[in-house]
Structure 1
C-alpha cells in the first residue's frame, strides 16, 4: 500500500476522476461531477509537478473537492429565484378570486361549478344551476364559493 501511495502518478488521478465522472452519469445529482473534476485537477497538477508527494496530492484533492462543492452549492442557491407566478401549478389557488358558473346546484352547502372544461366540487351557500359564484378559498379538492352580486 505504501509503495502504491509513494508512486502515485497523474494517471491514477485521471483514472479516479474519469471513474467518478462515469458514476455521475448514472444519476448522482451533480455531487460526483465536482469531486471528479477535483481528481482530474490533481492529475493535471501531478503531471505538471511530478515530484509532488502523495500527502500533498491528497491534501490538494481534499481542498479542490471542498472548493468545487462549495462553488456548486453557491451556484445552486443563487439559481433559485422567486417566481412571478407563485400559484403556478397550484390549480385551486389560481382560481381564488375568479367567478364561475354553478354546474350542479349547491344544496346544503355542496355542489359543483364549471371551471374551463372541467367541473370542481364546491362548498358554499345554496345556489341554482347557471348562477355565478366567486371562489374565496380551497379545502383540498373542494373550492369554497360565495354568490356574486
Structure 2
C-alpha cells in the first residue's frame, strides 16, 4: 500500500484535496474547502516541480493558512457590506424611526402602529397621535420619546 501511495506522488495531494472538497458537502461552513484547495494547489505544484514530501507538507500548511486568511477577510468585508444586518430583529430595525401613537401613553404604556402590526411602547405620557421616535427596545416592547 505504501509503495502504491508513493507511486502516486503529487496525485496524493490532489486526491486528498478532492476528498476534503467532498467532505465540505457534508460538513458545511466553508472551512474544509480551503484545505482542499490548498491540497490541490500543492498537488499541481508538485506535478510541475519535484519536491520532497516534507517541503510539500510545509507548502500545504502555508497555503492553507493563506487561503483561510483570505476567505476570512472576504467574509468580513461581505458582512460589512450587507445592507441590513438586523434583518431578523424586527425591534432593532425600528430604532430611530418615527411613528404616531395609536393609543396614548398613560402611566408609561401605550401603542403604535407599524405597517400591519401594533407594538407596545414605553415612554413619557403623551396623547394619541403624537409623533414618537423609537430609541430602544426591551424584547418586543419599544422605548420611545416625543419626536
> What TM-score range do you get, normalising by the shorter chain?
0.7 to 0.9
Q: How does 1:1-149 map to 2 (within 5 A)?
A: 9-49=9-49, 51-81=50-80, 90-93=89-92, 94=94, 96-103=96-103, 105-127=104-126, 130-140=128-138, 141-146=140-145
Runs of 5+ consecutive residues of structure 2 not aligned to the other structure: none
Question: Offset at 1:133?
Answer: 3.7
Aligned length: 145
Secondary structure of residue in 1 paired with 2:80: coil
For the 8 Å contact 1:101–1:113, the answer to whether it is kept is: yes
- In structure 2, relative to structure 1, the CA distance for the partners of 1:108 and 1:98 (3 Å cut) is same
Q: TM-score, normalised by structure 1?
A: 0.72
Runs of 5+ consecutive residues of structure 1 not aligned to the other structure: none
- Higher mean C-alpha deviation, range 18-27 or range 118-127: 118-127
Q: TM-score, normalised by structure 2?
A: 0.72
For the 8 Å contact 2:135–2:145, the answer to whether it is kept is: no
C-alpha distance in 2, partners of 1:71/1:85? 24
**Rg comparison, structure with higher value:** 1
Measured on the aligned residues, the alpha-carbon RMSD in Å equals 3.2
